[in-house]
Structure 1
Amino acid sequence: MIVYNVTSKVRWDILEGWLNWQLERQIPSIMATGLFDNHQVFRLLEQDEDEGPTFVVQFFTSSIDRYQQFVIEFGPAMQQEGYEKWGNGFISFRTLLESV
């Protein structure tokens, strides 16, 4: 199992809109590529939230090839859409995990 992990810290002033966009637009668009089998959304606890909360979205896929196809064909445009819509209201970093 391969897990594409996206961690995002979101400013309070855009939180409601950003979270709705994630749940209603961004995540469904990623799942619609057919390259991930499931996903899960988390809010990190015990974090400094002075500047805003931190969320983790994990996308699960069966192979590194499917993940790489997503990164090549869809990833950059989807990331750009977020930055165009929300500017510097959030910061994200991505990690790749493999179950052992």
Structure 2
Amino acid sequence: MIIYNVTINIDDTAHDQWLDWMKNEHIPQVLGTGKFEKATLSQVLVEEDMGGQTYSIQYRSYSREALDAYYREDADRLRQEGLKKFADKMLAFRTELQIIDEYNVKFK
């Protein structure tokens, strides 16, 4: 499984509008492509020198092929929507993470 991670720093002046847009429009649209099984929205708990607030959105893809299809078919269009609304108020970078193994606590 591959995690498509998007880390975004959003300026405080646009934070509330951006967070509402992410929760109610953007993340549901990305999941609506059918290429991901779930998304996790997390706030990064460090103070940035540049100010603003930082978030990580981790989308769990069904497969490498599904993620590649997202890049080909959906990514540019969905990124453009965010740029139109928040272009000078946000900075984003993207990474891919390969899950090697997962562990859970087992209670006796």
Once the two structures are superposed, residues 5-37 of structure 1 have per-residue CA deviations (whole angstroms, 9 ceiling, x without a partner) of: 000000000000000000000000000111100
Once the two structures are superposed, residues 40-61 of structure 1 have per-residue CA deviations (whole angstroms, 9 ceiling, x without a partner) of: 0000012326621100000001
Aligned-partner SS, 2:36:
coil
Hey, what does 2:36 align to over in structure 1? 36
Hey, what does 2:57 align to over in structure 1? 57
CA radius of gyration, larger in: 2
Aligned-partner SS, 1:12:
coil
Task: Kindly indicate which of the two structures has a greater share of residues assigned to helix.
Answer: 1
Number of residue pairs matched? 100
Hey, what does 1:12 align to over in structure 2? 12
Aligned-residue CA RMSD (Å): 1.1
Hey, what does 2:83 align to over in structure 1? 83
Q: CA deviation at 1:63?
A: 0.8
Hey, what does 1:97 align to over in structure 2? 97
2: CA distance, partners of 1:49 / 1:27:
27
Sequence identity (%): 28
Extract structure 1 runs of 4+ deviating beyond 4 A. none
Q: Unaligned 5+ residue runs, structure 2?
A: 101-108
TM-score by length of 1: 0.95
Q: Which amino acid letter does the alignment assign opposite residue 63 of structure 1? A: S
Hey, what does 2:46 align to over in structure 1? 46
